[in-house]
A and B are shown apart, each in its own frame.
Chain A
């Protein structure tokens, strides 16, 4: 295999794997539903629709899907942005001060252990139904990895680096801005990839438990009507959005912290 084909193949692999999975899925559904085999097996559409049927539904319901996708996307994105801001501030505080660390860390762990689906009903009592609980749920679920990563980045500054700065007479703030924050950046951007997918989970949970718009709501109501293809169309939509947002975060990560990927640049 030449280097060229190897590269092409590597780029094509995710698409091939996805296509392969869909084809197997399609074949299983088609074969099992052959009338002659009905005594052996059958997969009714209500249990598992064929991928082609799902795509058909996606085209059929394109307008509503797009509208609800955008709804989920903006609530997720807003919750995610608030999580970045809050996570950065709290992560810096925790990483920079042992007192804040020992005080808040157990609380954060406890809070993170709470299933977020449990707080949606409470949020609904407080702020009602709609976009707000989705934004808040996306925020609280994606907040934690950002805080932990930023704090880790700060806490792992080399002691020698700190000594160099201290012996120059640097203040704590200067150590934080000159070393702490730049050093925490790769950790922050790495956490964003995890956090964005979590944010989707948060907003969709919220829409499912108590929403009137969004993909989560669409899936729930389609499920209630035994409309499995639409439910699956919703799943596909979330997956696609998740991958796109992940790719965006990965791209931002590479651009912002080029130095952390030094291995790829040295020739």
Chain B
């Protein structure tokens, strides 16, 4: 690992220690977040799978019925019958917060309360097959709406999980080891400095002592000379 240049001082060491503590705490929190997101995600995925199959089956059925209706009636008549909707769908959206991911929640209401009101045409000139097609289409529509909600939730969660996982890994495998290494480097460097200072001091002390002793000896020598 390429080591960043750090100045081996006590101040930097203290700063690094604080940062390491924060990083470890953040790592733990993010890991928890990732695990919880994953749990929620798996629920959503399971739900999505069921819904998707149901919608695909429902739509195939509805389109099949529509094809039959198209075969029985002339295309112009079919187009005319379905041209102007009798019913309108109004959709309300709110957001739900899952582990700080905002996922949409849809609620819809139809303008026509009576389920029989879905047919936007008179019954005299249309075939019964068309009624059936419309019926299955409106039935599958509810599932489609739920599918939209679940699928969007799934996509948003997947996105967030990926991001969180990257962060967890970056902290775990890059940031934290790097900081630990730097801390080790600084404390070793500091200890080394301390040692060399100590040795230097001892050396100086030796030198001073030696000088003092020699001076003393010289003095004593002079005194004996004078006396003798």
Bound pair (A, B): no
